[in-house]
């Protein structure tokens, strides 16, 4: 099994941790009305681009609301949410590698070994994430174990 496959398996295991009552959903996931700003996380995998979801097609996973562009994508997500949910709760991958929770932009994304990664800025995406993908993922996975249950504000104080 290659390094990315191991990282993807570890990511899926960490991401599948249940949300506890002490953990506010909006701190685990980047969410306003819906996770990832209402973008369809399945569409990144199926059409290869950010696609706005609709409240007509929604699902709940780990206490958060997810929107989809179609009933088909909604069904795919409901059948295997861990497969489609983004790494680090949709927070910036480069930020997670630095121990921070930074909101993302839906157009700054990559899929590595089947896992969706989002980023916050052109520099975070192009220079940090794409420039050293393996290291960013490795550091993000190590940090996420600690920061996933820490509020964004508390991380900013550190």
CA 78 to centroid of chain Cα atoms = 16
Give CA–CA dist 119/105, Å, rounded: 6
Q: Domain tally for the chain? A: 1
Structure tokens at 118: 């989002």
Query: What's the pLDDT tens digit per position in 84-136?
Result: 999 998 999 999 999 999 999 999 999 999 999 999 999 999 999 999 999 99
Closest C-alpha to 40, from 116, 137, 113: 116
- Assess if residue 63 is contained within a domain: yes
Under 8 Å between Cβ of 7 and 138: yes
- Assess if residue 18 is contained within a domain: yes
Query: What's the pLDDT tens digit per position in 23-67?
Result: 334 456 665 567 888 999 999 999 999 999 999 999 999 888 999
Under 8 Å between Cβ of 112 and 6: no
Domain that holds residue 70: 3-152
């Amino acid at each position: 099994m290659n390094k990315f496959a191991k990282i993807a398996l570890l990511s899926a295991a960490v991401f599948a941790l249940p949300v506890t009552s002490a953990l506010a959903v909006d701190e685990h996931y980047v969410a306003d009305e819906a996770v990832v700003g209402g973008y369809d996380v399945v569409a990144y995998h199926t059409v290869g681009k950010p696609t706005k979801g609709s409240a007509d097609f929604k699902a709940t996973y780990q206490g958060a609301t997810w929107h989809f562009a179609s009933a088909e994508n909604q069904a795919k997500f409901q059948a295997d949410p861990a497969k489609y949910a983004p790494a680090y709760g949709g927070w910036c991958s480069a930020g997670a590698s630095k121990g921070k929770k930074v909101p993302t932009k839906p157009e700054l994304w990559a899929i590595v070994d089947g896992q969706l990664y989002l980023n916050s800025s052109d520099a975070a995406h192009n220079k940090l994430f794409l420039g050293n993908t393996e290291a960013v993922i490795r550091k993000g996975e190590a940090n996420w174990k600690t920061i996933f249950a820490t509020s964004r504000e508390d991380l900013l104080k550190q």
